[in-house]
Structure 1
């Protein structure tokens, strides 16, 4: 069964419609309607459907196809719109025709009401019996989109003769392929231009719009010089909205359409990625598209771009692999979004490892070492590490023959890879950006081993734990993060999927303790996702906090102290996150109850083995910070002071205080001291307030300079520098707690 417009069509009828439609496309466009009228004259229902598709297909080839409601009905397909030259449409005077196509004409016009000068483009529908729903949909899509690189809808109406027209921004540019040919752009300049195009498409996707007809003619470049061209995206005639009410449309440009679009699947953003890939390959090769013949679901042949022929003309190996990944036949093998495509183009421009390259360890190490070639110490560490692992692995595999022993070796390699990462990050200073790059190397290796050993539970768990780390670095609010919330959510979701797959194995394969650990790990990741929902405004503070609590309570475990140390640490982090968020909504009784449970876990001696010492030391300080905030917000100043002083200061003999998030915690505590001094009437206490205010402001400013890649610190430092000291504590929650409910800059 297929849904076409508001009608339900059975699969057999839809196959007939598609067959006649595809056959009509092989006939000269001026003779198509005569042929279809003659061929289907005895089946008016089928004739109407095929004719509607042909009309919409013609409309997709014109400049901008957006309708307004037609005021009168014209039945003859041959009736044409009159020439508009010299006519006045509203406040616009039509100057001349500048373009025309199978279904419409484009005129230049100028504003003539004397209010201000403006030159625009007016598009009028050529024939009357068009698919009005298609034009109405495009009009609404263009009205919804506000973007400097997407052509702007200005006005519209209907002629006296009943033909709808649109008033659009007049784009004085050339198609992207002609622009590149005109200025003879280098491969680097072409990649830069395509990267910017990916950004435009991703922005449209973020607004719920899938273009569905990307091709060079619909992508113009406004000529401002060789390196100053501005992209303009046109023609949303067959675009698709991801809103539930949107209805898919089957019109396509065959040579740029994905295999799924040829199979009449519902449009997906990966279809735009495929079209972007074809355009990318065409621009890099500098050659016209070579077409090849394939067949669709009903074995009907159609012409599409020859991927192999395009690939042969791309000289750079990495760019060739990027092209192949973008144009993969299966959606799951492609880039999942235009932003992922853009990220790999950025990686190529920045000489970083390319995600499309399955080059193994040496590829990633060589790219990393080349990019940071001035860091001789890091180069030496990685060179020695890679050489040692390679020699050990080579000697080991020479001696082993059985698959079981090779799997055990990979498990050992995974254990060592995680330990090596921990040691490396513990011995070198690092920002979140550097930590992300180093962690990515380990993540890619673990992913490769996990693919080689799909049944190895230990490697899967190592890989899931590294994904959680990547989520923390990318965009979790309680870490020094890079501000990429969507990436953090993707990493957490991948880790959750791994644990779900482990939990779905036969119970006989997993011990009871392992099943319980996997359940807690899943809950911890779901809890992290709920925490992110507060940070990106997708939930209110109260609803987000309730979601976090329900996830933890669903564990239904009475004695958390009896759990393994890793799972106790996960539960501790959930408790403290809930306690912190409960302060925002003034649920102080819940805060106290959560802190009591957290204190029981912190009191255990074996919760902090050496490899998790820094984490537990930070969580202990976090516990005292929340407790102090609770006393302060309830007005018990002496208890708050006593609690805050239990937190180790930078002059203490501690290693955790060297981490950025611990130092940021100290600035929040100093802010609390400042607020408490401000609330006192004593001049001496007010002076103490200003002293701690300066401590917090200077320390936060230094942190922001040191961690320049952390948007949270930049925003907090700027806000504190602009804050009137005397009004500093008008809203204590704002300064005592990290900001939530706002996307990072």
Structure 2
């Protein structure tokens, strides 16, 4: 194969795995000034419009199509009204899944109540291949092992009178994950709640020793149940037993070709052909979470596959908060709007703890990622509950701060009581001692009590700063002064003066609109708060 032909195929294979709305921008960047190359790829896409669709990924977003909606392009195995055993074809909803076949909406008869099913059949060129039936049977067995409301039920596998294999499954009225979240302007906390539910689904699959191998937003549909979103993970047809030593990054297909992962969501070990394990699914989930938060994937996919493989293997992903700041103004505005988040606070919302989570899932070595989908989901819920994260630093101060955040109001009240009691405690101790050594001990206890009260109030001030609650920040800083019994601001510790200066700048900015550059200290990574008596 010539280099030009190889590049053409690589670009086509990358483009078909992208949402249609992203293809034009991808081709513009990848092809550059080579208009002939771009035109050729676009023609290939135009003649094969359904090649990105997988199994049920194109189930209708909102029920039956509007009158006059055209059928998907391309030759069809069945037509509306055809009967396949006990199933009556309604319409074709996916002209192709991978490179293998088609998906139809059908009605199953012979039941007390008719039910809609998704009927998966091979395309015309594969319908006579006996290995297709074997593959459908294997997929049925895979799905039959997994009984979870977030995984479509499989009803039947068989062969028509004409010898065409088929797989009948639960029909999902759902919308692709990203499309649903963006259309509903789902906030970041709500996106995290939805993602934690996806982790629960994958936990079930992994407990059944099944790695999905091709997790991506198009393989996650969102339905609504009683007005609440419910995710469904689909297309386990390319999955491999997670302990199968023969599992590779690309699965063999009946025609001798390959149906594997989608490379922009694939782990480094998948891209290098080292195999598919549950750890690869964790990586893919990390890419999905990154995209849910930022609106972009962590790596630039406008490259040939070999270049992308090297990028994923060697480069560290840009942090989500940095990725947002690098976007074009209109992209930033659109992403903030889709997340129901003010543009000014988008990067700060993603900064620090929240971005630790996808970055842990995206680590190069499988053993450095979350050990399971369950651990991944638990860390998401810890973040939502203001608890210390598995992805966070091991420092004692970080975990103390998370505890204080969760109990801020009770701690604040206790700190106020502590300040009031310090004078009485110290006085009692001083009256009780007579010797110099005892008095020195009393002074040490006094300083220790002051230091602990100071640290508690200063930590509260930092928490209120993160919440942009300036009045409470000021109140906590004043309590710090009371704790140290230091009326002069210039005599307070450096970190106190720095936070007070930031607070003054924030007040000026909100009052007068000044654009002040603030120095952001990485508070979470400090092992202790500096204290200068």
TM-score range, shorter chain: 0.5 to 0.7
Residues 368 and 118 (structure 1), Cα distance of their counterparts in 2 relative to 1, 3 Å cut: same
Counterpart of 1:198 in structure 2 is 199
Structure 2 CA distance for partners of 1:212 and 1:59, relative to 1, 3 Å: farther
1:241 equivalent in structure 2: 241
Residues 240/223 of structure 1: CA separation in 2 closer, same or farther (3 Å cut): same
Counterpart mapping for 1:537-556 below 5 A? none
Cα displacement string for residues 553-599 of structure 1 (whole angstroms, at most 9, x for unaligned residues)? xxxxxxxxxxxxxxxxxxxxxxxxxxxxxxxxxxxxxxxxxxxxxxx
Corresponding residue for residue 264 of structure 2 = 255
Answer whether contact 2:209 2:241 (CA < 8 A) is retained: yes
* Structure 1 segment 343-492 matched on structure 2, within 5 A: 343-358=378-393, 360-376=395-411, 387=451
CA–CA distance in structure 1, aligned partners of residues 275 and 6 of structure 2: 18
Give the secondary structure class of the aligned counterpart of 1:149.
coil
| Aligned position for 1:308 | 318
CA 1:170/1:351 → structure 2, altered by over 3 Å: closer, same or farther? same
- 2:284 matched residue in structure 1: 275
User: d(CA) in 1 for partners of 2:112 and 2:374?
Assistant: 42
Deviation at 1:179, TM superposition (A): 0.9
The reply on whether 1:62 has 2:57 as its aligned counterpart is: no
Task: Report what 2:507 is aligned to.
Answer: none
Looking at structure 2, the residues matched to 366 and 116 of structure 1 have their Cα atoms a distance apart, in angstroms, of 57
CA drift at 1:137: 3.0
Question: How far apart, in 1, do the equivalents of 2:11 and 2:406 lie?
Answer: 55
Contact 1:81 1:163 in 2 (8 A): no
323-332 vs 145-154, greater mean Cα deviation: 323-332
What displacement does 1:231 show?
1.1
Q: Partner residue of 2:63?
A: none
Task: Provide the rounded CA distance (Å) in 2 between the counterparts of 1:162 and 1:236.
Answer: 24
Counterpart of 1:333 (choices 347, 368, 387) is 368
Separation of aligned partners in 2, 1:178 and 1:191: 16
Contact in 2 for aligned 1:293/1:301 (Cα 8 Å): no
**Alpha-carbon distance in 2 for matches of 1:363, 1:300:** 36
- Which residue of the other structure, out of 94, 98, 107, is the alignment partner of 2:93? 98
Greater helix content? 1
Change (3 A) 1:187 1:82: closer
| SS of residue in 2 equivalent to 1:26 | helix
- Matches of 1:272 and 1:345, distance apart in 2: 16
Query: Can you list the C-alpha shifts for 1:428-448, whole angstroms capped at 9, x where unaligned?
Result: xxxxxxxxxxxxxxxxxxxx9
Tell me, yes or no, if the aligned pair for 2:301 and 2:308 is still in contact at 8 Å.
no
What are the Cα deviations for residues 654-687 of structure 1, in whole angstroms up to 9, with x where unaligned? xxxxxxxxxxxxxxxxxxxxxxxxxxxxxxxxxx
1:300–1:371 Cα change, 3 Å: closer
Where relative contact order (Cα < 8 A, 6+ residues apart) is larger, the structure is: 2
Q: Secondary structure at the match of 1:320?
A: helix
Structure 1 residues 184 and 64 mapped into 2: Cα distance closer, same or farther (>3 Å)? closer
Shift of 1:268: 1.5
Cα 1:244–1:287 change in 2 (3 A) is closer
Do the aligned partners of 1:123 and 1:166 also contact (CA within 8 Å) in 2?
yes
Q: Deviations over 1:266-291 (max 9, x none)?
A: 21211111111111111111347762
Aligned to 2:189: 188
Separation of aligned partners in 1, 2:280 and 2:159: 34
Go from structure 1 to structure 2 and tell me whether the alpha carbon gap of 1:237 and 1:59 turns closer, same or farther (over 3 Å shift): farther
Q: Residue 110 of structure 1 corresponds to which residue in structure 2?
A: 107
Cα pair distance change 1:343/1:125, threshold 3 Å? same
2:81–2:89 contact (8 Å) kept in structure 1: yes
CA distance in 2, matches of 1:209, 1:29: 26
Q: Distance in 1 between matches of 2:450 and 2:237?
A: 54
Matches of 1:29 and 1:293 in 2, distance apart?
Answer: 12
Residues 176 and 220 of structure 1 are in contact (CA less than 8 Å); yes or no, is this contact kept in structure 2? Answer: yes
Map 1:34-73 onto structure 2 (within 5 A): 61-64=53-56
Query: Which residue does the alignment assign to 1:232?
Result: 232
Shift of 1:177: 0.7
Contact 1:212–1:272 (CA under 8 A) maintained in structure 2: yes
CA deviation profile, 1:622-672 (whole Å, cap 9, x unmatched)? xxxxxxxxxxxxxxxxxxxxxxxxxxxxxxxxxxxxxxxxxxxxxxxxxxx
Larger Rg: 1
Q: Does 1:26 align with 2:10?
A: yes
C-alpha contact 1:94 1:108 (8 A) present in aligned 2: yes
- Is the 2:158–2:165 Cα contact (8 Å) retained in structure 1? yes
| 1:161 CA drift (Å) | 3.8
Structure 1 residues 111 and 352, CA, compared in 2 at 3 Å: closer, same or farther?
same
Work out whether residues 59 and 103 of structure 1, in 8 Å CA contact, stay in contact via their aligned partners in 2: no
Matched, 1:317 2:309: no
| Contact kept? 1:64, 1:236, Cα under 8 Å | no
Matching residue of 1:455: none
CA distance in 2, matches of 1:361, 1:377: 20
What residue is the counterpart of 1:459 in the other structure?
none
In 1: Cα distance, 2:357 partner to 2:401 partner: 18
Post-superposition shift, 1:317?
2.1
Q: What is the rounded CA distance, in whole Å, between the counterparts of 1:150 and 1:60 in structure 2? A: 21
Specify the SS of the correspondent of 1:229.
strand
Match of 2:93, SS state, is: strand
Deviation at 1:223, TM superposition (A): 2.5
> Offset at 1:321?
1.1
The Cα shift of 1:130 comes to: 8.5
Report the CA distance shift for 1:299/1:349 in structure 2 as closer, same or farther (over 3 A): closer
**d(CA) in 2 for partners of 1:207, 1:20:** 44
Shift in Å, 1:115: 3.4
Distance change >3 Å, CA 26–CA 192, structure 1 → 2: same
Is the contact made by 1:353 and 1:367 (CA closer than 8 Å) also made in structure 2? yes
Query: Does structure 2 conserve the Cα–Cα contact (< 8 Å) formed by 1:290 and 1:309?
Result: no
* Closer, same or farther: CA 164–93 of 1 in aligned 2, 3 Å: same
Q: CA RMSD in A?
A: 4.1
Distance in 1 between residues matched to 2:410 and 2:226, nearest whole Å: 38
Change (3 A) 1:131 1:142: same
TM-score, normalised by the number of residues in structure 1: 0.40
Instruction: Kindly indicate whether the alpha-carbon contact (under 8 Å) linking 2:78 and 2:89 is maintained by their aligned counterparts in 1.
Output: no
Name the SS of the counterpart of 1:107 in structure 2: strand
SS of alignment partner, residue 276 of structure 2: coil
Residues 1:244 and 1:286: Cα distance change in structure 2 (over 3 Å):
closer
User: Residues 135, 303 of structure 1: CA spacing in aligned structure 2 closer, same or farther, 3 A cutoff?
Assistant: farther
Give the whole-Å Cα distance in 1 for the aligned partners of 2:136 and 2:203.
Answer: 23
Q: 1:257 to 1:130 in 2, by over 3 A?
A: farther
Distance 1:345 1:21 in 2: 44
Q: Any unmatched runs of 5+ in structure 2?
A: 17-49, 58-73, 251-259, 325-346, 419-446, 456-525, 528-533
